[in-house]
Structure 1
């Protein structure tokens, strides 16, 4: 039966819905049950609570809307956007931070285009996309049923009380745009599971713990992400707790880069990552949105990278969320502010980048296929912030080179993971000329200074340049390994030896790069996935060392030892966590192979380490084939004075 309550002390609204006993204490404004469930404790007026409710014929969806009306933001109307640019209001593209209730309002045809919106309005729209989302969000509709909207729209009510799913009419010109796959239609769905009414989320409590640990240095830590500083200072109270939690955890890697922070003892980085992980998982369950995608990028590519399974699952979640939010569609002609266009394009570009490089690092197939998105690579003008400095423009050049290099990598990964035997016609081109041309054309497309940086390793003091150079060598190493395997399968021994030597040369370039890294380089920006590149290069050298019959000089073994020595130095002197994977996987193996060459003949070495040689193929994701990254590559500059 239902618990007894005195009419003088009525239960709170949440306990009424739960039919649970409402017990209050003097020390807290919330009842005990609301504290346990983390829900908002509201005591409604007794006269209002006794008001007779009129039954509704709309079933469960309507009753849910009535009973938990505060949990549905009706301003988040479904929207349809065609490439004509005549679309619904851009506010529905945000995560849904709305404080109004009422029917949907279509865009006034006489309203100025989004490009005429003032800078403050653009800033507000961008902050809304990053803000902690409400209870509803826009979700893309399958292109296969877009045309159905034209026929059924007049029969679907736009009254918010009807239910959660509502469709509004597109502009009259959208029917002549082209095939239905070219048009984009969204509708509004609830983000929280039915029955969840909590306002005080776990993510907010985890953020509070992190900020308490960081006091009074939280603002200084955020300043390391210079491009995020303005949003943080002006809209902190509206930002997603999960986003802020993961931003803090991500920035902790660069604690010693700040003159103000390096003299202070940092809090436990591992514990802060645990809190950030819990905040992210809570938001994924309660209120996923665009801010969640950014949080995943920060989380998966935060350093140190320790969970391959967890990160791989998060990448899949980010891809699924991005597709659901329509980030995979070109928004250049949508009637939204330029700020929103740039942010959506940037987020999608980094999601693609994340998918490609984690695929290379973890040895898993691509989750995003080039035929399933039409977002172009953003230009430097689109990404540049107003009044950007020369250093920021230089960072943008590095970032854009990284994006185009990622496209080359995707071609190679498609070749690597094309394992189906049922449709040989669909297999990508595998000729050596075609594969090499892809990378050569990319090199020729670069600006002169970026080309010298990539090919020769010049000017590594530029922000992100060391990471770009290592990423280029990772792609080049993958290419050489693909060609090496192809040569082994199709030519005689002489061609195979030549291919192996070319692969060894690339691995040697990686070793030389690691040896040349200085303190300032090591504390800069690095994608964690490149830690697997170091492992891949070392394992190839060790494998090659086992095949060398020259007892007096084994170049591959010497290079492997040089790699281990340099990584050990960087780890001890600069806490460079990218060295961890290679050191843990290759140190013992290098020592054993060196010991074997000292006391055994070459023939006995190969026999003794036959099992280890095979194990290299399983430990190295690229060898079979395959090789996590930070957010905000293009503007990642340190606010530091030396």
Structure 2
């Protein structure tokens, strides 16, 4: 409410005024100012308290002589109040050399005042530095830390919400507002923050949201659960998880932690601890202690994340993405919530030209693409519609510049050895390649698994397979080119140097994408209506993919199995078994069904043995058993000899199949169906096969069939009617 009469500012301060030191009085400046500004400025000293609005902005509070309002409050036409109590300041760290000369050197200094040492196990307990209300930006010990107050999505006491073109805040009306040097304009509803000529956000205080004060207690609970191993767990996280899933600004996080800043989001740091617990025994020092209860951490993290959605920040998306990487996590609803929050934060926009720190632009792009992958792979493994569409996705492709942590501690970068730098570079390439593969996979889903596509194939009737093959041509070529251009450092044959490797999840995602494509083709095949040659070619291509995927799983080493696996990997392993069961169920002959039955039994054994090192594989084993139980109701299939006899064609004499002399079975290609694939998955042209352009009445008959394994090899030859 407006004051009836002017009140001296000193009387409005809740704390007792101290007599200013000599030479630091509020003396008028010698420089004259224009009449429009007012009298000569009267600037407070550092000891004097700024007004509430200037403290929230972390701005300099300047009052003119004889004025009641400070310059900024007068400019924004708002009340200049001193209601809120000042935030506690950290004590200055006393140097040991100075303590000898101090008259109070007999007093023992508290651990809260000291700077925490680097992340390692032998550190003071985190609970000794109990989290407190977010300190002011100036309290950070290191001057090279980026100012979070200049960011858009990482401010401590306020959050941002994107203002769209069709919202009540019309862009033309926003352009008429007066913005200060920080591109902010204050209104009753909040503060408008303009990032460029077209995009604008509204900044709202966190304290007005539900249970904001409980964040401090939640953070205490998180630290108490992992006490005293928090630093060691963070070290594990940044060594194993972060290089392969870089959605956190590493050096900024570490320097904030070392400087004593404990204003982290409870759900974020809990998510980091939860993932690091998967490698608890990997650290010999941690292995000697009992493992913290991850279920308690998850309970606190999920509750804190739910409350944080009312005041969304980049840390909210980071925490949600990390919690979804848990091997046992499978939450479609949380994924959709994160997509909505990401749109509220403007992560779907192009931030390349925004007036925010350069390092925040790169961080926003990495988080945006991580959210994109989360949505697309969740859509595949759940078989549900995606919530991100290309028409509303303006994020630019990821580049090397987006991984640079500009503005962070130069000491943090110098402490990394060559091995760590190589791991980070390899992880960045892995992350970027996964983004490219996800875009191709999303095209597969949009082409074959949307409701519109399903209806198109149903309307095509007997020509559905031909329509599917025609639509598959472009996406198959993109997938082929992606695999050919894959950098050597992320191939499975790349040396691991006796370190954990996460390249497995990228190649598994590649096989899952191909299987998803071939699965749609196999589902459209009908042995009774399709011509034998086309039917054989499509199924043989599908068999090639299945064998390649199973062989890939057989070649996984312990350093692969114990590395970080993307959240969709558990289902991607399962999809290989599902695809094998589909080929078994649709096999036209008993011999072919027995072949898939044998391979699935071998695959299950491989998964069960590998699950000793990667426990999440137990889920794939359970799904294989479920599929096997369903196949028990499958009717017995006729043998090849019975099929030929029923057709009135005499059995062919024993002869070597023409296909067996040409190497591996031909791999499906939608343009001409004449490509092979070797053990490394490289495509090559096989000129021995003629071009195949669909199914017609004049198609060739089934010429030969030869299983790639000796135990299931069968030969047949038939003539076209």
Q: TM-score range by the shorter chain?
A: 0.5 to 0.7
1-structure distance, mates of 2:578, 2:357: 49
> Of 58, 67, 75, which residue of structure 1 is paired with 2:57?
75
How far off its partner does 1:269 sit? Answer: 2.4
SS in 2 for 1:270: helix
1-structure distance, mates of 2:58, 2:442: 36
Q: Over residues 589-626 of structure 1, what are the superposed CA-to-partner deviations in whole Å (9 max), with x where a residue is unaligned? A: 43785x889xx95469xxxxxxxxxxxxxxxxxxxxxx
2-structure distance, mates of 1:403, 1:344: 15
Name the structure 2 match of 1:266. Answer: 291
Q: Over residues 504-537 of structure 1, what are the superposed CA-to-partner deviations in whole Å (9 max), with x where a residue is unaligned? A: 3222222222222222211101012111112111
2-structure distance, mates of 1:439, 1:266: 43
Name the structure 1 match of 2:202. Answer: 187
SS in 1 for 2:348: coil
How far off its partner does 1:73 sit? Answer: 8.4
Counterpart contact for 2:153–2:314, Cα < 8 Å: yes
C-alpha distance 155-222 of structure 1, shift in aligned 2 (>3 A): closer
2-structure distance, mates of 1:422, 1:551: 32
Name the structure 2 match of 1:402. Answer: 434
Name the structure 2 match of 1:343. Answer: 363
How far off its partner does 1:352 sit? Answer: 0.6
Which structure has more helix as a fraction of its residues?
1
2:288 counterpart of 1:288: no
- CA RMSD between the two structures: 4.1
Matches for 1:205-604 after TM superposition, within 5 Å: 205-226=217-238, 227=250, 229-234=254-259, 236-285=261-310, 287-305=311-329, 308=330, 311-385=331-405, 386=413, 389-420=421-452, 431-450=471-490, 452-453=491-492, 459=495, 463-485=501-523, 492-548=531-587, 549-551=589-591, 554-571=594-611, 573-574=612-613, 576-587=614-625, 589-590=627-628, 602=637
Counterpart contact for 2:377–2:568, Cα < 8 Å: yes
Counterpart contact for 1:568–1:583, Cα < 8 Å: yes
Counterpart contact for 1:221–1:248, Cα < 8 Å: yes
1-structure distance, mates of 2:282, 2:569: 21
SS in 1 for 2:451: coil
C-alpha distance 45-365 of structure 1, shift in aligned 2 (>3 A): same
How far off its partner does 1:491 sit? Answer: 5.1
1-structure distance, mates of 2:539, 2:474: 19
How far off its partner does 1:238 sit? Answer: 2.1
Q: Over residues 2-28 of structure 1, what are the superposed CA-to-partner deviations in whole Å (9 max), with x where a residue is unaligned? A: xxxxxxxxxxxxxxxxxxxxxxxxxxx
Q: Over residues 355-386 of structure 1, what are the superposed CA-to-partner deviations in whole Å (9 max), with x where a residue is unaligned? A: 11111111111111112121112212331455
2:158 counterpart of 1:139: no
Q: Over residues 296-335 of structure 1, what are the superposed CA-to-partner deviations in whole Å (9 max), with x where a residue is unaligned? A: 1011122222xx3xx2111111111111111111111222
Counterpart contact for 1:246–1:277, Cα < 8 Å: no
Alignment coverage as a number of residue pairs: 475
Structure with greater Cα Rg: 2
Larger mean CA deviation between 462-471 and 581-590 belongs to 581-590
2-structure distance, mates of 1:235, 1:373: 38
Counterpart contact for 1:567–1:583, Cα < 8 Å: yes
Counterpart contact for 2:154–2:313, Cα < 8 Å: no
SS in 2 for 1:420: helix
SS in 1 for 2:57: coil
Counterpart contact for 1:125–1:337, Cα < 8 Å: no
2-structure distance, mates of 1:373, 1:101: 38
C-alpha distance 205-488 of structure 1, shift in aligned 2 (>3 A): farther
1-structure distance, mates of 2:179, 2:431: 46
SS in 1 for 2:285: coil
2-structure distance, mates of 1:565, 1:248: 32
2-structure distance, mates of 1:581, 1:204: 37
State TM-score, norm by structure 2.
0.58
How far off its partner does 1:396 sit? Answer: 1.4
2-structure distance, mates of 1:500, 1:103: 76
How far off its partner does 1:551 sit? Answer: 4.9
How far off its partner does 1:482 sit? Answer: 3.0
Counterpart contact for 2:500–2:562, Cα < 8 Å: no
C-alpha distance 545-76 of structure 1, shift in aligned 2 (>3 A): farther
C-alpha distance 169-513 of structure 1, shift in aligned 2 (>3 A): closer
How far off its partner does 1:542 sit? Answer: 2.0
State TM-score, norm by structure 1.
0.65
Counterpart contact for 1:73–1:101, Cα < 8 Å: no
Matches for 1:135-174 after TM superposition, within 5 Å: 136-144=158-166, 148-151=170-173, 154=176, 163-167=188-192, 174=197
C-alpha distance 335-357 of structure 1, shift in aligned 2 (>3 A): same
Counterpart contact for 2:350–2:395, Cα < 8 Å: yes
How far off its partner does 1:423 sit? Answer: 11
2-structure distance, mates of 1:552, 1:493: 15
1-structure distance, mates of 2:193, 2:426: 44
How far off its partner does 1:465 sit? Answer: 0.9
Matches for 1:606-617 after TM superposition, within 5 Å: none
